[in-house]
């Protein structure tokens, strides 16, 4: 599994930093965002270190698909599937990416405006 030294999400995936894991399997983990922007704000994090969607991910399509199935599963478990929720992947500076290990935000538990800021 590709890891990046010093990457906080790699450290969480390796169990070297407490993360309060809500769900995990062999490919990913789900944690609560430390600075939540909605009543439910989760992060789906692949164990593999992928910097962002800007990488060539042609060989990672199964992993990316799996992450999407985990989004739905966790949303159902959190009870936000009916009312609705938003999934977000920020890529690079103008989108607000601050951690350069791919992750999917799940935001729910309140009405979300569109377009985002």
Q: Would you call 103 a catalytic residue per the annotation?
A: yes
101 binds, among ligand 5GP, Zn ion, none (CB under 5 to 8 A by kind): Zn ion
Residue 9 lies near Zn ion (rule: CB under 5 A): yes
* Residue 93: C-alpha distances to residues 46, 50, 100 (Å): 21, 16, 10
Catalytic residue among 41, 101, 103, 105: 103
Q: Pick from 2, 6, 26, 34: which binds ligand 5GP (CB under 6 A)? A: 34
Sheet with 104-108: strands ordered across: 23-24, 28-32, 40-46, 104-108, 85-88
Q: Which stretch binds Zn ion (CB under 5 A): 8-16, 30-38, 54-62, 107-115?
A: 8-16
Q: How far apart are CA 103 and CA 115, in angstroms?
A: 21
| Binding-site ranges for ligand 5GP (CB under 6 A) | 8, 31-35, 43, 90, 96-99
């Amino acid at each position: 599994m590709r890891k990046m030294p010093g990457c906080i999400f790699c450290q969480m995936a390796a169990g070297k930093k407490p993360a309060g894991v809500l769900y995990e399997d062999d490919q990913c983990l789900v944690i609560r965002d430390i600075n939540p922007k909605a009543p439910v704000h989760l992060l789906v994090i692949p164990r593999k270190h992928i910097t962002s969607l800007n990488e060539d991910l042609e060989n990672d399509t199964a992993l990316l698909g799996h992450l999407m199935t985990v989004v739905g599963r966790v949303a159902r478990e959190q009870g936000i599937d009916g009312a609705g929720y938003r999934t977000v992947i920020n890529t690079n500076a103008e989108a607000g990416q601050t951690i350069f290990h791919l992750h999917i935000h799940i935001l729910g538990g309140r009405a979300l405006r569109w377009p985002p800021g």
